[in-house]
Amino acid sequence: MTMTPGTITGKELFWFNNTLVAIHVSSMAGEDGTCVVEHHMPYGDSPPLHVHRREDEVFHILEGRLRFQIDGHERIADAGETVIAPKGLPHTYRVESPEGARALTITRGSDFETMLRQASRPAEQPELPPLMEPTPEIIAALVQLCAKNGIDIVGPPLW
């Protein structure tokens, strides 16, 4: 999936696993720590089941379709829909649209943004990174970084 360059001009871009992340609003920009991140995700992308200890995670779907699992309940969300994963509840999603998906993720606090910055690498270009399977070492490092930032990995991705 190649992005429309106008949507991310001047944004910090990172490759987080197999996704492209653009930070639109850093948690450091305002007093309440609101963070807005744009995710570009390939078909089938799914983070492990996880719990945010200190912040809700709000997803606004811009393009594509995602299947969410929140506290054991599944729902489909299409472009234009907004979904909240309240803090303390296990959640994950899977990109169901063959063309991939694009979503805004909104959190309040620096946990999520800090983890993203620590676990990502600068994007070499404004498009998805080459697909790679995570190694056991990458998974272990991500679990550690998440735990350090108030996010607990509690299960596998959705397949």
**Structure confidence by residue, pLDDT tens digits, 56-89:** 999 999 999 999 999 999 999 999 999 999 999 9
- Distance of alpha carbon 50 from alpha carbon 77, whole angstroms: 19
**Residues constituting the chain:** 159
**Residue 10 has what pLDDT?**
73
**CA 21 – CA 126 distance, rounded (Å):** 9
Q: Is 131 helix (H, G, I), strand (E, B) or coil?
A: coil
Q: What is the mean pLDDT of the chain?
A: 93
Torsion angle, alpha carbons of 110, 111, 116, 122, to 10: 30
Q: Of the given ranges (7-16, 19-28, 80-89, 93-102), which has the lowest mean pLDDT?
A: 7-16
User: What is this structure's pTM?
Assistant: 0.91
Statement: residue 2 has pLDDT above 50: no
